[in-house]
C-alpha cells in the first residue's frame, strides 16, 4: 500500500509500505479521507515542534475515517463494510490517569503520527490501516467519510469546551480562526453560548467563522481597537478560547474578559509573557486543553447526525499522490482552512 511519509523538513514522500498483520483484536480499514492537521504541517515545515523532532521516517496523519475491510477473530463491534471514524489516541488503560478517566493525560500514550516517543508512532495517511477495535467508532453508512474525518479536531474542541465548564448563556470569545478556532465556535454554539465573537488576522478564515455561526468575526489586524468596547465594566466575555497560540491574541483579549472569567488555552505556542497583575486582580482562571478522550465518540455522533455541520471548513481535497501539493496548500491560510487527502 501507499503511505505519506515525512523524512525531514520539506521531504515528504508517497512510498510503498507493507500492510501489517491483522491481530485477533484488530480491524483492517481502507482509509477514505484524511485531514491535514497543524501538527502534520509542523512536521512538514520544521521537522517537529519544541523538543519533539522527527528522528526516523514517520507516516503522518491522524484525522481519518474509512471502511472496514476485515476484522480479527475477537472483534465484535464492527464488521466488514462498516464505516468508521478512527480515534488516533491509544492510551495504555492502566496508568493512574487512565484509571482516573483522564486518558488524554496517559503516561504511555500512543497517538498516530506522533514523534513524541521513539520509535515514533506511525500515522494513518495510508491506504490500509490496521488498528485495535477500541479505536473504532462505527458510523451510519450514510455519513460521508470526508465529514467523519473531522471527528478528531472536533473532539479537541469539545474537550476545550468541557474545560471551560457550562457554556449555556455565556459570552465566548474565540481568538484564532484556524480549524480549531472555527470548530470551537461550532462547539460553543452547540453548547448554548449566548454570544460568540471570533478574531483572527486574516479575512478568509473569519468568513468561515461567520458561516459556522459566530455572531461577529473581527479582523484584529485591520481593526486593532475593535475589542475595546468589550472592555467596559471590567469586560464582557465569560470565556476565552485561545486557539491561535499567539501571545498577542491572549494578552490583547484580557481587557475584554469579565472578572472571574475562564481562559482555555488550546493553541500551543512558545513562551508567553502575560500581565500577571491583570490575572490576579480580575481573578481570571487560565486552563490548558490538550487533545481529548471521551469527546471523540460524541464528536463522531454530532457529525453523523449533522447536529454540527463541518462542511464549510473543507476547502480542498487532493488525491494521495498529490500529498506534497496538499501540504503546501494547507500551509497557506489565505487559500485553505482544512485540506484533506482522498485515498481511494
92 touches Zn ion by CB under 5 A: yes
Residues 84 and 144 sit within 8 Å (Cβ to Cβ): no
- Closest Cα to residue 292, out of 178, 92, 134, 152? 152
- Which span (61-69, 122-130, 287-295, 330-338) binds Zn ion, by CB under 5 A? 61-69
Among 222, 229, 223, 278, smallest CA distance to 250 is for 278
Cis previous bond, 23, omega within 30 = no
User: Which residues face 138 on adjacent strands?
Assistant: 84
Return the number of the residue (108 or 285) whose C-beta is nearest Zn ion.
108
The SS3 of residue 270 is coil
Describe the crossing of helices 38-46 and 323-330 by its angle, rounded to 10 degrees: 110
Q: Which is nearer to Zn ion, 22 or 135 (CB)?
A: 135
DSSP secondary structure string for all residues of 185-234: HHHHHHTT-SEEEEEESSHHHHHHHHHTT-SEEEETTT-TTTTGGGGGGG
Nearer to Zn ion, 91 or 235 (CB): 91
136-175 residues near Zn ion, rule: CB under 5 A:
153
Contact 159, 289 (CB under 8 A): yes
Q: Whose Cβ is closer to Zn ion: residue 98's or residue 308's?
A: 98
Q: Which stretch binds Zn ion (CB under 5 A): 60-68, 170-178, 207-215, 297-305?
A: 60-68
Those residues whose C-beta lies under 8 Å from the C-beta of residue 75, and which sit 6 or more positions away, are: 24, 25, 26, 27, 133
Stretch of 93-101, 164-172, 291-299, 336-344 lying at the interface with Zn ion (CB under 5 A): 93-101
Q: C-beta of 26: minimal distance to Zn ion in Å?
A: 20
Is 99 or 232 the residue whose CB approaches Zn ion more closely?
99
Pick 123 or 213: Cβ nearer Zn ion? 123
User: Looking at beta carbons only, is 97 or 272 nearer to Zn ion?
Assistant: 97
Nearest distance from C-beta of residue 87 to Zn ion, angstroms = 12
Q: Nearest approach, Cβ of 98 to Zn ion (angstroms)?
A: 3
Residues from 231 through 270 that contact Zn ion (CB under 5 A) = none
Find the shortest distance in angstroms from Cβ 319 to Zn ion.
Answer: 21
Q: In terms of DSSP H, where are the helices of the chain? A: 38-46, 96-99, 145-148, 151-164, 179-190, 203-211, 247-253, 276-281, 295-304, 323-330
Rule CB under 5 A: choose which of 68, 84, 85, 106 binds Zn ion.
Answer: 106
User: Contacts with Zn ion in 207-236 (CB under 5 A)?
Assistant: none
Q: Which position among 6, 37, 86, 253 is part of the footprint of Zn ion (CB under 5 A)?
A: 37
Q: Does 41 bind Zn ion (CB under 5 A)?
A: no
Q: Binding of Zn ion at residue 98 (CB under 5 A)?
A: yes
Closest CA to 139 of 293, 27, 301: 301
Q: Counting contacts by CB under 5 A, is residue 298 touching Zn ion?
A: no
Smallest gap from residue 196 Cβ to Zn ion (A): 22
Q: How far is the CB of 285 from Zn ion (least distance, A)?
A: 26
Q: Which of 32, 34, 91, 235 binds Zn ion (CB under 5 A)?
A: 91
- Rounded CA gap, 209 and 200, in Å? 10
Work out how close the CB of 113 gets to Zn ion at its nearest, in angstroms, rounded to a whole number.
9
When asked if residue 95 is in the footprint of Zn ion (CB under 5 A), the reply is yes
Q: How many residues bind Zn ion (CB under 5 A)?
A: 8
Instruction: Give 193 or 264: the residue with its C-beta nearer to Zn ion.
Output: 264
Count of Cβ atoms closer than 10 Å to residue 203 Cβ: 13
CA distance 225 to 43: 35
Q: What distance in Å separates the CA atoms of residue 321 and residue 58, rounded to the nearest whole number?
A: 17
Which residues bind to Zn ion, rule: CB under 5 A? 37, 63, 91-92, 95, 98, 106, 153
Amino acid at each position: 500500500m501507499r503511505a505519506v511519509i515525512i523524512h525531514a523538513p520539506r521531504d515528504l514522500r508517497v512510498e510503498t509500505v507493507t500492510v501489517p498483520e491483522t491481530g485477533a483484536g484488530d480491524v483492517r480499514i481502507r482509509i477514505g479521507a484524511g485531514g491535514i492537521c497543524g501538527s502534520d504541517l509542523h512536521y512538514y515545515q520544521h521537522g517537529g515542534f519544541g523538543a519533539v523532532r522527527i528522528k526516523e521516517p514517520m507516516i503522518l496523519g491522524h484525522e481519518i475515517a474509512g471502511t472496514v475491510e476485515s476484522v480479527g477473530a475477537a472483534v465484535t463491534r464492527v464488521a466488514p463494510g462498516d464505516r468508521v471514524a478512527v480515534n488516533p489516541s491509544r492510551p495504555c488503560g492502566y496508568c493512574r490517569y487512565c484509571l482516573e478517566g483522564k486518558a488524554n493525560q496517559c503516561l504511555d500514550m500512543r497517538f498516530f503520527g506522533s514523534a513524541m516517543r521513539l520509535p515514533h508512532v506511525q500515522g494513518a495517511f495510508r491506504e490500509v490501516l490496521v488498528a485495535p477495535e477500541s479505536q473504532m467508532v462505527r458510523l451510519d453508512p450514510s455519513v460521508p467519510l470526508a465529514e467523519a474525518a473531522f471527528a478528531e479536531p472536533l473532539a479537541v474542541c469539545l474537550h476545550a469546551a468541557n474545560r471551560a465548564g457550562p457554556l449555556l448563556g455565556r459570552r465566548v470569545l474565540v481568538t484564532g480562526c484556524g480549524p480549531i478556532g472555527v470548530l470551537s465556535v461550532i462547539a460553543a454554539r452547540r453548547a448554548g453560548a449566548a454570544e460568540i465573537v471570533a478574531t483572527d488576522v486574516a479575512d478568509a478564515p473569519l468568513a468561515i467563522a461567520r458561516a459556522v455561526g459566530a455572531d461577529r468575526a473581527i479582523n484584529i489586524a485591520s481593526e486593532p481597537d475593535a475589542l475595546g468596547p468589550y472592555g467596559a465594566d471590567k469586560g464582557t466575555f465569560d470565556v476565552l478560547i485561545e486557539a491561535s497560540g499567539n501571545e498577542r491574541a491572549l494578552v490583547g483579549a484580557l481587557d475584554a474578559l469579565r472578572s472571574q472569567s475562564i481562559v482555555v488555552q488550546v493553541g500551543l505556542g512558545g513562551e508567553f509573557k502575560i500581565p500577571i497583575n491583570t490575572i490576579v486582580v480580575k481573578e481570571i482562571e487560565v486552563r490548558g486543553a490538550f487533545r481529548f478522550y471521551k469527546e471523540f465518540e460524541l464528536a463522531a455522533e454530532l457529525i453523523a447526525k449533522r447536529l454540527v455541520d463541518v462542511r464549510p471548513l473543507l476547502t480542498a481535497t487532493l488525491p494521495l499522490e498529490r500529498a506534497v501539493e496538499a501540504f503546501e496548500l494547507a500551509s497557506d491560510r489565505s487559500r485553505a482552512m482544512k485540506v484533506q487527502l482522498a485515498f481511494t
